[in-house]
Structure 1
Amino acid sequence: MAGPATADSSGASAAECPPGGSLCLYEGTDFTGERFTVSSLGPGGVCVSLVDHGWGDRARSAINTHSGHAAMFLNDDCLGGPYQVPGNSSLADFGSFVPKSVWVPAD
Structure 2
Amino acid sequence: MFAAAIAGVAAVMAPAPAHAAAPAQCQFTDTVCLFSATGYTASRLTLTSLAPEGTCVSLVDAGWGGRARSALNTAGSSAALFANDDCIGGPFQVPANGGVSNLGSFQANSIWVP
Task: Return the TM-score normalized by structure 2.
Answer: 0.86
- Contact residue 13 and residue 35 of structure 1 kept, 8 A: no
Q: What whole-Å deviation, never above 9, does each CA across 1:17-65 have from its counterpart, x for those lacking one? A: 1332000000000011100010000121000000001100100000000
Among candidates 18, 23, 32, match of residue 41 of structure 2: 32
Identity of aligned residues (%): 49
TM-score (norm 1): 0.92
Q: Which one has a larger percent helix, Structure 1 or Structure 2?
A: 1
- The yes-or-no answer on 1:71 pairing with 2:95 is no
Over 2 Å off, 4+ runs: none
- Computed over aligned residues only, the root mean square deviation of the Cα atoms, in angstroms, reads 1.2
User: Which ranges in structure 2 are unaligned for 5 or more consecutive residues?
Assistant: 14-23
Q: Which amino acid aligns with 1:18?
A: Q
Residue deviations 1:79-106, cap 9 Å, x none?
Answer: 001010110001100111010000011x
Corresponding residue for 2:101?
92
CA distance in 2, matches of 1:56, 1:41: 21
What is the aligned partner in structure 2 of residue 7 from structure 1? 6
Contact 1:20 1:67 in 2 (8 A): no
Number of matched residues? 104
